[in-house]
Amino acid sequence: MKTYKLLLLSLGVFCFTACEKELDRDLTDANVSVATDENVRYEGNILTVKKGTPITFLLHGDPDYVSFFSGELGHQYVYRDRKEYSAEDVESCELKFGIWTATGNANSCTNQLDVFYMAEEQAPNLETTTFFPGMSKTDFEADSILVEKTTEWKALISREELPNKVLGSAASALNYSRSVKEFIGKKFTLAIVLNKDGKKASDYPTYSDGTPIPQSTFNFTGMRVETTWRNGRVTTAYASSFGFTPLNMKNKTVFKDQDEINMPKDREYGSVSTGVSGMWNLSSIANGGFTVTGAASGFDWKYTWLVSDYLNFLECPEPDLPVKVKDVSLDVDTYSYTYDQVGTYTATFLMNNFSYAHEDSKVCELIINVTE
């Protein structure tokens, strides 16, 4: 019996030591090489390959995780943690969006919407700068005075360019594009307002049957900042990143056409997820879409603002990303990749081992020259 106990104890110690060794293993022996042939060959330390030719990378060692950065635009290891670009890297920077209208007629569309901006600028012959300081989002009275009376907004899109009739569908939307490159590095705020002039249905002729015209609904589509960089990459930041906040100017008024069940808890700064008269519906803003719903015939016309945070035109919407080659559930020792464009690339393999007792990583780089 003692012999058996001793044997079991010895096996247990052996297994424990082996497990500890496995948990502590490093990536010293991990590496990457390439299967060469007449189309894939080394010239010194540079791998030369014809475009369209698959490259077979051979993975050595036993890393738990392997990721691959091809070195192409959007997949460069050096930019994996990038949060911002440099102003010198910008080729063009455009704010783009569409607008289409629903309900009403030409009278209820014309001069009913404004698209404003405020950008930081230095006062002539003075050392002071003017800019929109941003809403507190907690003090409605102060914010409403700031937005409505204090700030000298400028028209991003003139009223003459905005919809002056009912367009009916997104397919008929008017599309706008404005360069904002000159505002890079400045505090830039975007503001949209419905019925700034405080118009009422009674200000306009009724329909032929005597019915008051309704207040038009304005739908925004695809609002985004589209930036082209000098390296050829194009990035898109949709309106969901703008920090839009409604400023519901008539929040203390109880309107008969605003169903309580659809209203936000925050009447001052809240938005809705369905069509509610005088409220901003931001439920599709991830794709740059949002709507401000007008009042139906016979109901009071509404007045409301939508104000952004500062727009950072150098913000990187997403860092450069790798492709997963291997994880603990995927045991591979080769990886194939094809370059379709002529150029010189730094291909990077990031290898990692993780356990509760040990963590290790290793980077393997190869310079690849892709030719015709």
Please state, in angstroms and rounded to a whole number, the distance separating the CA atoms of residues 245 and 242: 9
> Is residue 146 domain-shared with residue 282, that is, in the same domain?
yes
What DSSP element (H or E) covers 109?
Answer: helix 106-109
| 265 pLDDT above the threshold of 60 | yes
- Please name which of 312, 345, 337 lies closest in space to residue 66, comparing C-alpha atoms: 337
Order of all β-strands in the sheet with 46-50: 40-43, 46-50, 359-371, 343-354, 65-69, 323-326
Name residues whose C-beta falls within 8 Å of residue 20's C-beta, 6 or more positions apart in sequence. Answer: 357
**Averaged pLDDT, 182-193:** 95
Q: Is-contact 299 108, C-beta < 8 A? A: no
- Please name which of 274, 310, 308 lies closest in space to residue 292, comparing C-alpha atoms: 274
What DSSP element (H or E) covers 145?
Answer: helix 140-145
> Is residue 67 domain-shared with residue 197, that is, in the same domain?
no
pLDDT score recorded for residue 108: 97
pLDDT per position as a tens digit, 287-314? 999 999 999 999 999 999 999 999 988 8
| CATH code assigned at 49 | 2.60.40.10
| Residue range(s) defining the domain that contains residue 351 | 25-79+319-371
First to last CA, the chain: 75
> Is residue 156 domain-shared with residue 38, that is, in the same domain?
no
Question: Vertex 229, ends 226 and 235: CA angle to 5°?
Answer: 35
Task: Read off the pTM.
Answer: 0.73
Cα distances from 315 to residues 114, 164, 225, 229, 235, in angstroms, run: 26, 35, 10, 12, 10
Q: What are residue 50's phi and psi, to 5 degrees?
A: -80, 140
> Is residue 145 domain-shared with residue 264, that is, in the same domain?
yes
For the chain, the domain total comes to 2
Cα distances from 237 to residues 72, 161, 248, 288, 304, in angstroms, run: 21, 24, 26, 9, 25
Token couple for 258: 């605003």
Order of all β-strands in the sheet with 31-34: 31-34, 54-60, 334-338
Identify the domain boundary among 256, 277, 307. 307
| 11 pLDDT above the threshold of 80 | no
| 9 pLDDT above the threshold of 60 | no
> Is residue 266 domain-shared with residue 129, that is, in the same domain?
yes
Average pLDDT of the chain is 89
Q: Is-contact 71 343, C-beta < 8 A? A: no
pLDDT per position as a tens digit, 148-187? 999 999 999 999 999 999 999 999 999 999 999 999 989 9
> Is residue 213 domain-shared with residue 356, that is, in the same domain?
no
**Which of these ranges, 143-157, 278-292, 312-326, has the smallest mean pLDDT?**
312-326
**Averaged pLDDT, 215-232:** 93
